[in-house]
Amino acid sequence: MNILYDLYISCTEEECGKKYWAEHLIGTFKTKDKATTTMKKVMSEGKPFSKPDCEPRIQEVELVGEILNVDSVYRFFGYNKDGDIICSSYYAEKATAIQDFIRAKKNNYGRDWSLNTYKLG
């Protein structure tokens, strides 16, 4: 099983005078070391992610397909029949991602679906 690493940084945001907790995807990486190095760099460079309340998180995500010679990966989001958010694994091949995306949409409901491309690094 191939694994990729998503780097998230969460912190409080303010919009229209209201504060809320927001989680930002900083990037997707082939190695945990690269994600960790990027995290340290981003959090030390100053605003917005150097605030005291910012919390980093690195999450392992399965990659469907082979990681070799892959610069971009694909992932889809939508809703299942219970209204919960579906977040797929990453896909190395766009054609496979599209097939699974279509199948997921057909077997679930909701009109707010997206198939996204992520550049690694």
Q: Which residue has the higher pLDDT, 12 or 54?
A: 54
Looking up tokens 């999450």, which residue turns up?
59
- pLDDT tier at 1 (50, 70, 90 boundaries)? low
- Which residues face 90 on adjacent strands? 63
Please state, for a pLDDT cut of 70, what percent of the chain lies above it.
98
> What sign results for the dihedral spanned by CA atoms 63, 75, 100, 86?
positive
- Asked whether residue 101 carries a pLDDT value surpassing 80, the answer given is yes
Question: Structure tokens of 103?
Answer: 């199948």
Compute the mean pLDDT over every residue in the chain, rounded to the nearest whole number.
89
Q: Express each pLDDT in 42-55 by its tens digit.
A: 888 877 777 778 89
Domain ranges of the chain: 2-60, 72-119
pTM over 0.75: yes
| Whole-number Å distance between alpha carbons of 54 and 105 | 35
